[in-house]
Structure 1
């Protein structure tokens, strides 16, 4: 019996050992498989991108909105494809590109997602959506991309693109990740925090086939996305569209302002470009092409280009002379043509006639009286004192400043001071004869089209202005109006000069801009250009009483101010006030753009 018990015990011990050994063998052989299964049931953190804020015009017409695009990610450990050719065709990539993308992803992580394909548009996505089940380990995520209904206002709106390494490193909020979009210029950049919204995310479970099998922790750890804030601009999109149409085929810019508020009604730079070119996966190629364009379509001439103001500046010289009592309304003097080149005839002139005829020699004498007032017997010191006073007056009109316009990069222009001439000629080594070209708005004096539109608004308001502004509301909350800035010159002097501006349009150099239905007050400039044909300039406003629009235009290499710039400005004013164009002949003239060869 004892032998039987011993045998039974040995058999039981053997069976237990076999069971343990078989279990160990099973675990050893299939351990990697279990590990793989556990890895394949993964949790992915999927970003949910907010819809960027919509941008609309003053009449609530949408200018910028969003369209859906899709980013695709790959997890190398899960990547399985039966038909490689089908994958290559679906994403329009080569076999070499696929291998490279896979190797890059593996170097990052075989278990974590890496970008595979960026910003597929909605139509392409729809065409391959039914095939995605065949591409194991490839996942997609929707991503809103900017869409522009009309190709207008690109220079001020700016553009959005992928965040760069420098911006990513300087992001103290840790909001952005590689591949995120960010405003790069213009309104898109200035109001980035308002427009971008706040990203959300979902934690999702995926099985071995890359199929979503639900939310992690029932979605309790997810974060809800918050869309960006909408922005309302002061721009009239229909007027903007018309201005850009008039500028087609030309080089220059137009800025129109509502004088009573400083709100920008239109701001255009030409040549321009379709802002949709800088949205989507072809951004880099299109941006490079625009940069290479010798006509510089990306360059915002309305805000950045600087020009001499030319004869338009004679209005400001007139106001300084009147305020300092160097001239009176009824004073007449004889003007010969001995001092400076002139198209105005020799004869007797009062100030009004000098403005209408744009007499260079009259304003040569007036500027000499402004600079040399005999406050010092030394003519060099006297010139310095006079220029210091003159510069203060000029800067009161916002010249030499950015007008606190922070929506985009803005040039300040240049108002020369004694310090500038001291550095150029030496202290007490320059006088009026060195700077007399300033008398007719030439020489070192430089202005921007925005500054000149603001100057036109000052004339319309008879002596005050609001800094130009373009954003009216953010998420229906009104932006505070800028403070009124008063010019320390008697209002009656403005009235006198405005009367002369009316006559410039009625019978002077801007007579092509005349309309029997509207009183337009203005002044032209034929801006000297040493590198080719002169530039055509104009400022004006309308109506004369209770003005609704002030405008400035610079059209490069187009000759006389009374042709291109005055004609374009007149049409823009007519379009804004009446909503239509009656003077079709003038519109045809502008669209044809033959300004140089035509004779008056």
Structure 2
């Protein structure tokens, strides 16, 4: 049988059919895709028309900030920025734009390069916060400056030039921030310090976007696709603070020409009533076109450091205010009691060295020791605790003592809602092991910490919190500055938990007796307020070779306390001379809303205690 052989023609015929269908299918796929791109899906049309479109970000109004009584402390003012899209620049009148903005060609090139480095397509701020006259002239001549346009936004304004460290300030987001957080673009503003930083996400809101059509004359013709790609901005949330603006202003006036800080707290809630760091500055200086120049001037003030928040960032020796902490630890541990008495013959002897003390009755119990601020009594109290036979070593005794101190709010940040809070210092046993060269040290080798010197360091905030603990007879709520977010009744639930110190309330009453006695007839008589029971403790903290710091803590009234205050005035002398009167004036003003002791007020407000020497 003969097998038929396929001709060459038939072979190629089948191949032609195969390739015909292959190319036909491929062509149909391209046609379908092209139809979808051009007719169905507008996003490709938007991309194709990009040169004729402009993407304008709508910056929302930043949240307002109020004091505890609803008084406005921070609000917004409209301003305009000049934006640039480098790829859209055509036939630019560079000389005319430089003259309009008041810059030279070198500065122009520098700014344009910065914009190009970020993106040739995306808008970037070329000049911020345009003066009204510049804004008006640009609007009239914008056809000469294709690729440039004006965009509105708001800047901060402070009706009262107070609380700069607490309120903080805003500035341009750094390249690091822009890289890390896609919400921000070059030129965007962000909270840099204070509440502006702590509550940045709440205050900033959410940016909106408008896509508009621009003609060849650089003029906006309207929304693209009837606003289909637009989305509206969401305004930032308002902050309702715990600050008493009038008390804050009063405190700042008392601290004029002084270095140091004042912190006032409502004991029952932990709400910060005033927080004064001095020297300070007008927060309006860090707003607007002169912001950079003013910031550099403040930063270069190395004598006063006005940008530095002393109330939460400076670790001061607390001096004799710390004695009440030492006493409370001994009482709770059962090593001391209210009748424990020690004699004082002018100081506490350490071989060939003596921790000096001033003249007062002797012997004393703890109430009188607080009243007269006896160094000897509290050195003995510390020794009795740390070297006690109930512990295997002084190291163990000190570690036990330290746990009480930490519970009373020292040695760690308290968690206030302000950035850059420092935690002070209460050294661990390992530190003393290294310092002494062995583990056999005893209480006397570190006894200076018993009276708030040596390695003990505390911020004014920690001292005010200690005072609130005493006023509350054993607990505190984390000090905070923001009471509500969004609306006055949307309470900030983060700051409602009580922190117990583990010390029996009856021991606080003993210490409070001594603090009341100190004001009535002890070291703090300058803190007396007619008709009001004030309980306080003086401190005179050494700062060699300079003059001593004046320190004072107090609260009032004794029953149902309304305010706890800590004052520290650097290098000014005894605690009773300066810090005590200032603290008492703060209390008098807060409770009575006026001050009757005009002579004390005049002396404190007019005292110049800067650059004092020993």
1:140 aligns with 2:140: no
The answer for the alignment partner of 1:308 in structure 2 is: 317
Equivalent position of 1:479 in the other structure = 492
Structure 2 vs 1, CA of residues 135 and 115 (structure 1 numbering), >3 Å: closer, same or farther? Answer: farther
Distance 2:124 2:444 in 1: 69
Q: Secondary structure at the residue paired with 1:576? A: helix
- Give the equivalent residue in structure 2 for 1:523: 537
* 1:219/1:145 CA distance change after superposition, 3 Å: same
Cα offset, 1:167, TM superposition: 1.2
Q: Which residue is 1:410 aligned to? A: 421
Q: CA deviation at 1:287?
A: 2.1
Q: Provide the aligned C-alpha RMSD in A.
A: 2.5
- How far did residue 45 of structure 1 move? 0.6
Q: Does 1:585 align with 2:599?
A: yes
1:58 to 2:58 alignment? no
Q: 1:111 to 1:163 in 2, by over 3 A?
A: closer
Contact 2:379 2:451 in 1 (8 A): yes
1:253 counterpart (249, 257, 261): 261
Query: Which residue of 308, 316, 332 corresponds with 1:299?
Result: 308
Q: What residue in structure 1 maps to residue 205 of structure 2? A: 197
- Report the equivalent of 2:20: none
| Farther off after superposition, 283-292 or 462-471 | 283-292
Offset at residue 500 of structure 1 (A): 1.3
Match of 2:368 in 1: 353
| Structure 2 CA distance for partners of 1:501 and 1:539, relative to 1, 3 Å | same
**Residue aligning to 2:229:** 221
Q: Deviation string for 1:190-218 (max 9, x for gaps)?
A: 21111111111111112121222111111
CA distance 1:497–1:206, shift in 2 (3 Å): same
| 1:490 paired to 2:465 | no
* Structure 1 residue aligned with 2:524: 510
Are residues 596 and 165 of structure 1, via their aligned partners in 2, closer, same or farther at CA, if it must alter by over 3 Å? closer
CA distance in 2, matches of 1:68, 1:355: 56
Structure 1 residue 146: Cα displacement: 1.8
Is 2:243 aligned against 1:235? Answer: yes
1:202–1:219 Cα contact (<8 Å) kept: yes
Q: Secondary structure at the match of 1:349?
A: coil
Tell me by how many angstroms 1:113 deviates.
5.0
Decide whether the 8 Å contact of 2:195 with 2:417 is kept in 1: no
Does the CA contact (< 8 Å) of 2:369 and 2:514 recur in 1? no
Tell me whether 357-366 or 445-454 shows the greater mean CA deviation.
357-366
Q: Residues of 1 paired with 2:161 and 2:564: CA distance?
A: 24
Aligned to 2:27: none
Question: 1:507-546: per-residue Cα shift (whole Å, max 9, x none)?
Answer: 2221111111211110010101113110000000011111
Are the structure 2 counterparts of residues 584 and 104 from structure 1 closer, same or farther at C-alpha, using a change threshold of 3 Å? Answer: closer
Q: Note the residue ranges of structure 2 that are not aligned, 5 or more in a row.
A: 1-47, 350-354
Q: Secondary structure at the match of 1:459?
A: helix
CA distance in 2, matches of 1:106, 1:490: 67
Separation (CA, whole Å) in 1 of partners of 2:364 and 2:335: 15
Which residue matches 2:409? 398
Q: Which runs of 5+ in 1 are unaligned?
A: 1-37
Contact persistence 2:62–2:236 (CA under 8 A): yes
Q: Distance in 2 between matches of 1:384 and 1:291?
A: 44
Structure 2 match to 1:154: 164
Tell me how far apart the structure 2 counterparts of residues 334 and 111 of structure 1 sit (CA, whole Å). Answer: 81
Q: Is contact 2:346-2:358 (8 Å) kept?
A: no
Aligned partners of 1:66 and 1:433: how far apart in 2? 58
Structure 2 match to 1:33:
none
2:124–2:186 CA contact under 8 A, matched in 1: no
* Contact in 1 for aligned 2:101/2:134 (Cα 8 Å): no
Q: TM-score scaled by structure 2?
A: 0.85
2:276 to 252, 268, 273: 268
The Cα shift of 1:270 comes to: 0.7
CA distance in 2, matches of 1:596, 1:104: 44
Deviation at 1:251, TM superposition (A): 0.5
Question: Once the 2 structures are TM-superposed, how far is the Cα of residue 465 of structure 1 from its aligned partner?
Answer: 1.2
| Change in 2 beyond 3 A, CA 1:563/1:596 | farther
- Could you tell me how far 1:592 is from its partner in structure 2? 1.6
Contact 1:559–1:596 under 8 Å retained in 2: no
Residue 528 of structure 2 contacts residue 534 of structure 2 at CA under 8 Å; is this kept in 1?
yes
Aligned residues: 553
Cα distance in 1 between the residues matched to 2:210 and 2:164: 35
Indicate the SS of the match to 2:585.
Answer: helix
Q: Secondary structure at the match of 1:120?
A: coil
1:317 aligns with 2:326: yes
Alignment pair present for 1:387 and 2:402: no
Closer, same or farther: CA 111–492 of 1 in aligned 2, 3 Å: closer
Q: What secondary structure is seen at the aligned counterpart in 1 of 2:284?
A: helix
TM-score by length of 1: 0.86
Partner residue in 2 for 1:470:
481
Alpha-carbon distance change, 245 to 80 in structure 1, aligned in 2, over 3 angstroms = farther
Is the partner of 1:528 in helix, strand or coil?
A: strand
Give yes or no for the alignment of 1:117 onto 2:130.
no
Give the match's secondary structure for 1:143.
Answer: strand
Note the C-alpha offset of 1:369.
0.8
- Cα displacement (A) at 1:82: 7.6
1:142 to partner: Cα distance: 0.3
Q: Work out which of the residue numbers 362, 375, 396 in structure 1 matches 2:377.
A: 362
**Residue aligned with 1:504, SS:** helix
Cα 1:75–1:350 change in 2 (3 A) is closer
1:20 corresponding residue in structure 2: none
Cα distance in 1 for residues equivalent to 2:337 and 2:136:
77
Distance 1:325 1:264 in 2: 34
The C-alpha deviation readout for 1:252-285, integer Å capped at 9, x for no partner, is 0011000001111111111111222222333333
Q: Could you tell me how far 1:326 is from its partner in structure 2?
A: 3.1
